[in-house]
Amino acid sequence: MKNKSKGWKEVEFIQSRATTRMGYLPIGGGGLNASYTQVDAIANISATAGNLGMKYGRDFIWSHTGYGGKDSEDETVVLLVKEEKYKSFLHLALENKHRIKHGPMGEIYITRTA
């Protein structure tokens, strides 16, 4: 995807570094087009940015998801950041210590907190 925001830099995260949540609930129905994995990864990365004092819409925005990294099969989340220094800050600060599981009827269990 072409970055059309002048001066903003792309920062790519391997999705599995930000979440281990499964993509879909094990029950039918629902209208979520993005997978729960993508949404959870974006939420974690955005929360990390906020904890670093970054403000959404001023210092960073979510751009898109894709494939990249060392292995082109790796799903990625891409943000646009205003300053180059944010790339390193975000990669160093990102943690994936929480664990979310789904039960057979769609229940959500937080089995480990961050």
pLDDT tens digits, 77-108: 999 999 988 888 888 888 877 777 778 877 87
Q: Which residues of 4-38 are buried (b: 16+ CB within 10 A; e: fewer)?
A: eeeebbebbbbbebbbbbeeebeeeeeeeeebbbb
CB within 8 A of 96, min separation 6: which ones?
Answer: 16, 17, 18, 19, 20, 44
Q: Read off the pTM.
A: 0.76
> What is the percent of the chain with per-residue pLDDT over 70, rounded to a whole number?
83
pLDDT value of residue 111: 79
Tell me which of 88 and 112 has the higher pLDDT: 88
Structure tokens at 91: 């990669």
CB 77 within 8 A of CB 18: yes
User: pLDDT tens-digit profile of 10-69?
Assistant: 999 988 888 888 777 666 655 555 688 888 899 989 999 998 999 999 999 999 988 886
